[in-house]
Amino acid sequence: MKILIIHNYYQLRGGEDAVFEQEFELLKQNNEVEALIFYNKGGLQGAFQFLLSCWNIFASIRLKKCIDNFQPDIIHLHNWHFASGPIIIRTANKLGIPLVFTLHNYRLLCPSSTLLNNGSLFTDSLNASFPWSAVEKKVYRDSYLQTFWLAFIVYFHKKIGTWEMVTKYITLNNFAKELFIHSSLKISAHQFITKPNFVAYPAIQSLVSENYFLFVGRLSEEKGIRILINAFQNSTYKLKIAGEGPLRNFIIQSCQSNKNIEYLGSLNKSEIQLVMQKCTALIFPSIWYEPFGLVIIEAFSFGVPVISSNIGAPIELIQDGINGLHFKVGSSLILFEKLNFWQNLSKIDKAKFRENATATYTKLYTPEINRAQLQNIYQNVI
């Protein structure tokens, strides 16, 4: 099968980039695969890209040349924002190439892309014909103008039928699929299918588990960083935090006043795997509708249970009391209660959680399972 994968890199690397790279390498093992890549720029160049993204004829020309040279059977789009723009969907449709689009975020539903604003859920845009409330609240880059322009791009392409030209949308969990189906986007339910992400088999070492909890991720409001700190401060439970983001200084200050909290900084992949294997449990305190959560299944691959807020994808990924624990989203008090519960479990009970975490990974989230799911989607679409 000849597969063309299109991806637009953000200026700051994120989970979407990692998923694109993983799937590209996975599919190359038994398919002919090429990638068409766009890069968001900063400054005036980035402003021009953003302005042009409503109808980027240059991106369309690049795609046409790529299709002429490669002659793909199918196109898989991961991200169009903002260097390429939605015109690539129309170009593929015009040339008769079926296109699959993975929805890594909620940008088609709201300019925020996260359904979050000022640390709280923001769902006003879901059933609005035009997201004026989002514009008023400046949910994209804290700018009226940029929020309006992004909202207009999505609205314009909805009106001219671009989003209906996608042959199949892939959502990463069933909750997200229902949000899209019942939104003002008005895309038919049969155009959606759910396929989770995956992680590669872990390089497991024989390490002795240590009695600390771990957070790995972006240090930002939507990740529930303040809930995390509130639950651990003034306690005796040890917490290690790995990551970078806008709340980095808040984390450093919290570590100075709470000696049980340690900031590890930004770690590379092997360093993350090392601290993950040794922790007693991973904490995932997100306060938004997480489309997935790669770090959760990475923890499972090491046999590490996850204590997570009960919102978004973690509700489906984590079986409460089986491979991890749920706590009420936004509640540091209930998170602390779950920490107490976990610490009071016997070694045998904790070992069972770890066995179940490993079993969850091997049953659902290995590379082989994901490749089979992807290729089945492609075959059905073609």
Whether residue 359 contacts residue 303, with contact meaning beta carbons closer than 8 Å, is answered with no
Amino acid at the residue 338: K
Mean pLDDT of the chain: 96
Average of pLDDT values for 110-131?
A: 95
316 is a domain residue: yes
Tokens for 267, please give them.
């770690």
Whether residue 333 contacts residue 268, with contact meaning beta carbons closer than 8 Å, is answered with no
Return d(Cα 300, Cα 289) in angstroms, integer: 20
pTM confidence score: 0.94
**Same domain for 236 and 354?**
yes
Give me the number of domains the chain comprises.
2
**Same domain for 171 and 233?**
no
Q: Residues for the chain: how many in total?
A: 382
313 is a domain residue: yes
Average of pLDDT values for 275-288?
A: 96
What does the pLDDT read at residue 206?
A: 65
CATH number at residue 136: 3.40.50.2000
341-361 pLDDT, tens per residue?
Answer: 999 999 999 999 999 999 999
If 0-12 CB within 10 Å is exposed, 13-18 middle and 19+ buried, where does residue 63 land?
buried
Name the band, by pLDDT with cuts 50, 70 and 90, for residue 24: very high
What domain range includes position 248? 212-364
Return d(Cα 356, Cα 350) in angstroms, integer: 10
**Same domain for 131 and 217?**
no
**Same domain for 279 and 292?**
yes
Tokens for 310, please give them.
């009960």
